[in-house]
Amino acid sequence: MRISDRRVFLIIALVLLFPLQVLAQSRPVDDKWALVVGISRFKDASMNLNYPAKDAADFRDFLIKEAHFAPDHVKLITDEQATRARILTEIGDTWLPHAAGPNDLVLIYMSSHGSPSQMDNEGFNYLVAHDTQKDQLYATGIRLENLAETIKERVHCDRTVIILDACHSGAARAKAGGKSLVRQGNFDIGQIPMGKGLMLICSSQPQEVSWESKNYQNGVFTKQLMDGLKHRGEFTRLGEAFDYMKDKVQQEVLRDRGQLQTPIVRSAWKGDDIVIAARPAKPKPGLPETTASEPAASSAPQTIAMSTGAQSIAPPANVASIGGQNLAVKLLDRVAILPVTGPNEIILDDIWKGFAQKDNIDVPRRLDEVGFRPTIQQVVKKRLAKFLKGKPVFTLEFAGENGGGTHDEELMTIDRNAICSGPGVYNWQAAGNLSQAKYLVEITIHDIFFEDQMGHDLAGARISAKLVSGETGEVLWLQKKKKFSRITMACHDDSIFAEVRNFIPNEIAAAIAKPIASLIKDQ
C-alpha cells in the first residue's frame, strides 16, 4: 500500500523538527573529565567542617576505581588549594576549556559551605571557597549563577553534571556584627540559569540543611550518592542513582537527626539518561599538568606546598623523581611529625562496656570528635619546638583525611599514596623528600583502654614512637610500646573523652620530645 504524499510530508516534518540536542545527548560519551573540590579547612577557621575534604577524596577514588574515569582526567582540589581563583581558573581557563571536547562528559563535584539566597543583598547563591569571607560574599565567594554561565560559555561540551554537597549544618558562626553561615537553608537551584545539557544535583531543599553522618566519616549525601551510583554497577543510570540516594538520605537523616534532608535535581538534559560509569568510547590522554597540585592517582608530577598562615612555602627548584613524583633532593634542617596512627584496639572492662552500651556511646567516634590524635601531634610539635629553640618543626597531614580537633598554621598536606605502601608502612626517603625534612617523627597508638578503678575511671593509651632520618630512612631513636594512663576526675561520664585529650597527649609529649630533641641537637 502506497503511503500518501501527505503522510510522507508529515514524516519528513517530524524528522526535521526532532530536537537535534536529543540526538546529540544520546550519542556515546567519547571521554570523561571531573573536577572534585572539598573544603574542610578554611582561612577563616570558624567555618571549618569535618568531612568535605574526605568526601572529595573518596569521590575522586570512586570515579577512578569504579566509574572508569582515567586518573589524569580527575582533578582533586582540597582545603588550602581550593581558593576562589584556583577553582574558577580550572573550570574556565586552564583545564576544562582545553580538555573537554564536544562529545565528552564533564562532572563537577563540590563539598563545602554554601550560602542561601537570603544571605545576599541581591538574593544570589554562593559557594564558599577556602579564602571566602562570609561578610564579603560578593567579592570572595563563587556565585552559583555565574558558575553555570561560565560552564556554558567556556566548557565545550553539552553534557555537564554539577553535584553540590553544600550548606552543611553547624559551624561558621559570625563575629559580632558579621554574617553567619549557620544554616538556615540551602541553595534555591530553581533560580539557576540552566544551559543546554546541564544537570544540577543539590544535597537538600532550599529550606533544609545538609548533615554529616553520625555513623561514618562522610557527609550523608555524598556517601549515599556513591552507594547509589554503585547500585547496578557500571550500568547504573544517574536517574536511578539519584532516586536510590534520595530515599537513603531521607531515611538516615530522619532516623539520626529527626530532620528532613531531601536532595533535589534540576536538569536541562535531553535524550538518554547518563551512565556516569560508562566506559569512554574514544579516550584521550590527559593534559600536561601546569598547576601546583594533582591527585595521587595521576602520573603527573606533584608539587607540595606548606601552609604557614597567609604564606605558602614551595619546594626548592632542584628536584628528582621518585615513584612518579617530583621530589626535592636537598633536605632542610627541620622536623616533620607524621599523622598519628591508630588506635589498633579499644579495650573496655566489663563496667565500661555496660556504660557505653547503656548510653549508646561510640568510643572510637568520640575520641575522633575530641581530636585525640591531632592533639597528640600538636602537643609533641610544641614541646619539640620549645626544646629545639628555633629549628622549624611542623606537622604533616594526608590529603582528604583531616582529623579535626586543632587547626595548625604550620602544616603540610601530602598524599598518603606518595609515601605509604600500606597502613603504617612508609617509604621514609620519599617522605623526607616530599616534606624536605631531615627528621621525621612517627607516633603510633597501639590501644586505648578504659577501666573502672573503685569508683573512678582509669584511662590510658599504649604508644610507640620513632625518629627517622629523612635522608636515609635509618631509625635514629625508638620508643617501644609504653603505657600512659591517668585516674580521671570523670566517673562514667562522657566528659572523660575531653579529659583524656587534655592530659594524655601532654604525658606522651613529655616522654618523647626531650630525647628526640637531644638526639637531633647531637647530629
In the chain, the amino acid numbered 73 is: H
Q: Region 153-178: what's the mean pLDDT?
A: 65
Strand 345-348 to strand 74-78: parallel, antiparallel, or no bridges (unpaired)? unpaired
Angle (CA) 91 281 149, round 5°: 25
pLDDT band at 438 (very low <50, low <70, confident <90, very high): very high
- The answer to whether 377 and 506 are in contact (CB under 8 A) is no
- The DSSP call for residue 92 is I
Nearest C-alpha neighbor of 435 from the set 331, 310, 325, 299: 331
> Who wins on pLDDT, 451 or 298?
451
- The answer to whether 415 and 76 are in contact (CB under 8 A) is no
Q: Is the model's pLDDT at 1 over the cut of 50?
A: no
Peptide bond into 505 cis (omega under 30): no
Distance of CA 100 to the CA centre of its chain: 24
Q: Region 510-516: what's the mean pLDDT?
A: 94
Q: Is the model's pLDDT at 350 over the cut of 70?
A: yes
Q: Is the model's pLDDT at 257 over the cut of 80?
A: yes
Q: Region 94-107: what's the mean pLDDT?
A: 93
Angle (CA) 287 291 296, round 5°: 75
pLDDT band at 26 (very low <50, low <70, confident <90, very high): low
Supply the pLDDT for residue 233.
81
Q: Region 430-442: what's the mean pLDDT?
A: 89
* DSSP bridge pairs for 210: 168
pLDDT band at 25 (very low <50, low <70, confident <90, very high): very low
Cell numbers at 400, concatenated: 582528604
- The answer to whether 120 and 137 are in contact (CB under 8 A) is yes
pLDDT band at 129 (very low <50, low <70, confident <90, very high): very high
Overall residue count recorded for the chain in this entry: 523
Angle (CA) 16 272 87, round 5°: 110
* DSSP bridge pairs for 425: 422
Angle (CA) 516 522 523, round 5°: 90
- The answer to whether 159 and 108 are in contact (CB under 8 A) is no
Highest mean predicted confidence (pLDDT) among 51-55, 203-207, 286-290, 389-393: 51-55
Long-range CB contacts (< 8 A, 24+ apart) of 489-497?
490/457, 491/455, 491/456, 491/457, 492/351, 492/352, 492/355, 492/452, 492/457, 494/359, 494/361, 494/366, 496/450, 496/457, 496/459, 497/366, 497/367, 497/369, 497/370, 497/372
Q: Region 289-313: what's the mean pLDDT?
A: 38
Nearest C-alpha neighbor of 509 from the set 377, 406, 409, 390: 377
In the chain, the amino acid numbered 16 is: L
> Who wins on pLDDT, 360 or 312?
360
Q: Region 281-306: what's the mean pLDDT?
A: 54
% of the chain surpassing 90 pLDDT: 37
pLDDT in tens, 496-506: 888 788 889 99
- The answer to whether 116 and 78 are in contact (CB under 8 A) is no
Report the distance separating Cα 461 and Cα 345, nearest Å: 10
Supply the pLDDT for residue 68.
92
pLDDT band at 340 (very low <50, low <70, confident <90, very high): very high
- The answer to whether 394 and 410 are in contact (CB under 8 A) is yes
Distance of CA 32 to the CA centre of its chain: 21
> Who wins on pLDDT, 35 or 454?
35
Question: What is the Cα Rg of the chain in Å?
Answer: 26
For the ranges 46-55, 417-426, 475-484, the lowest mean pLDDT is seen at 417-426
Q: Is the model's pLDDT at 454 over the cut of 70?
A: yes
Secondary structure element (H or E) that encloses residue 111, with its range: strand 105-111
- Longest CA–CA separation in the chain, Å: 102
Q: Is the model's pLDDT at 106 over the cut of 90?
A: yes
> Who wins on pLDDT, 5 or 64?
64
pTM equals 0.52
- The DSSP call for residue 182 is S
Q: Is the model's pLDDT at 487 over the cut of 90?
A: no
Supply the pLDDT for residue 452.
84
Supply the pLDDT for residue 316.
37
Distance of CA 52 to the CA centre of its chain: 4
